[in-house]
Amino acid sequence: MTTVLTQPIEEVVSTLVEAFAQTASERDKKGGTAKAERDLLRKSGLLRLHTDNWTDILAITRQIAKVDSSLAHLFGYHFLCRASVELYGTAEQVEKFRQQTIANDYFWGNAFNPLDTHVQATRIDDAWYINGTKSFCSGASDSDCLLISAQKPNGAGPLIAVIPTSRAGITTQNDWDAFGQRQTDSGNVTFDQVIVYDDEILDAYEAGDSNLFATVRTHIAQSVLIHVLLGTAEGAFEAAQHYTRTQTRPWVTSHVATATEDPYYIQHYGQLFVKLQASDALVAVANEKLNDTWAQKQAITTAQRGECSIAVATAKVQVVETALDVTSRVFQMMGARATSAKYNFDRYWRNVRTHTLHDPIDYKIRDLGNYTLNDQYPEISAYS
């Protein structure tokens, strides 16, 4: 991993996680932009990390998610947007944007979804101009760079570019009002005659079947969210353990002295522990496949991409089912008093539930079934 940090990465991450944990619950209640915490990430140097080692980036994402899944989401998406330059741009663009990010501790935001046709691009003289509103723009508020997409005229395909968030005509709406992931700033961004220069456009490789490397973006996006979800589940599990040990009373007919002796609490914790361990094992396999696939660059084969798809989909299904179960079932081991608003324990479930609705695992299970029964890899998608 090529970057310069003033402390070992583990110490930097530990310090950040401790700081985020102090305010995570109250900030969840308030929503909006976590400006102070985003600035801590900028100052930490972690935003400069190189995208050649996804295992480390995803591990940091998971650690942050244990205490704050919104900031974990933003951290992971920062690298997803940066990686998109390598997937769609030139080597010169990769180096230019990397150097800008390192020199200025830029935080990247997302206004990218080529399947969303609400933003249009028009060519005028020697530049493009984009107009319209893009939804689900995670991290756009308080970002320094935006990865954007817009539709070219006459079905000519998407325009993909990286532009400064401060450019004239860009308005981040700050209208994200979901009940979970409340500080991801995933609302709308409006573009009003925003200029895009040719050297900002990422068009070195045609996305699609002819460029398998570009389609690896979907694996990165899936992997980021997998680690956000697993980290959130682990955070809920650890919070519940502490509460059960220190606050929960044994059920009146259990005939035991403490909650930690209650046979049903013990059973639930054991079952959830197994699910978390299984998730961890499958995520490790998916991480290895992603790293191997990324390392191949334009040399990857259909089979290599397909095997990565299967590993990531398998991990996704396990993690989603585990995270939903853990964040809901922990209340059975904590008891009725744990539902008090002062604890805000429901934020773990709200965050997981919000994330999992964006990408139903029913379709992942279908893909895995087709793979096992019909030897078919999942359909190739250039964008995610």
Residue 211 DSSP label: B
Burial of 66 (C-beta count, 10 Å sphere; 0-12/13-18/19+): buried
The residue-averaged pLDDT of 254-268 equals: 96
pLDDT on residue 381: 72
Answer yes or no: is pLDDT of 384 > 70: no
The torsion angles phi and psi of 150, rounded to 5 degrees, stand at -150, 160
Confidence of residue 14 (pLDDT cuts 50, 70, 90): very high
Answer yes or no: are the C-beta atoms of 222 and 250 closer than 8 Å. no
SS3 304: helix
The residue-averaged pLDDT of 299-322 equals: 97
**Which residues have C-beta within 8 Å of that of residue 320, sequence separation ≥ 6?**
229, 356, 361
**Which residues have C-beta within 8 Å of that of residue 130, sequence separation ≥ 6?**
119, 120, 121, 122, 148, 150, 159, 191, 193, 194, 196
Sign of the dihedral through C-alpha 294, 295, 299, 305: negative
What's this model's pTM, rounded to 2 decimal places? 0.95
- Residues of the chain with pLDDT > 70, as a percent, come to 96
Answer yes or no: are the C-beta atoms of 144 and 108 closer than 8 Å. yes
Determine the residue type at 225. L
Angle made by CA atoms 101, 11, 316, in degrees to the nearest 5:
70
Answer yes or no: is pLDDT of 182 > 90: yes
Q: How confident is the model over 196-241, as pLDDT tens digits?
A: 999 999 988 765 546 899 999 999 999 999 999 999 999 999 999 9
Torsion of CA 320, 243, 40, 98, to 10 degrees: -20
Rounded distance between C-alpha atoms, residue 218 and residue 222, angstroms: 6
pLDDT on residue 2: 39
Rounded distance between C-alpha atoms, residue 264 and residue 250, angstroms: 10
SS3 letters across 55-89 = HHHHHHHHHHHCCCHHHHHHHHHHHHHHHHHHHHC
pLDDT on residue 204: 82
pLDDT on residue 108: 98
Rounded distance between C-alpha atoms, residue 16 and residue 335, angstroms: 31
Residue 208 DSSP label: B
Q: How confident is the model over 89-138, as pLDDT tens digits?
A: 999 999 999 999 999 999 999 999 988 889 999 999 999 999 999 999 99
The torsion angles phi and psi of 117, rounded to 5 degrees, stand at -100, 15
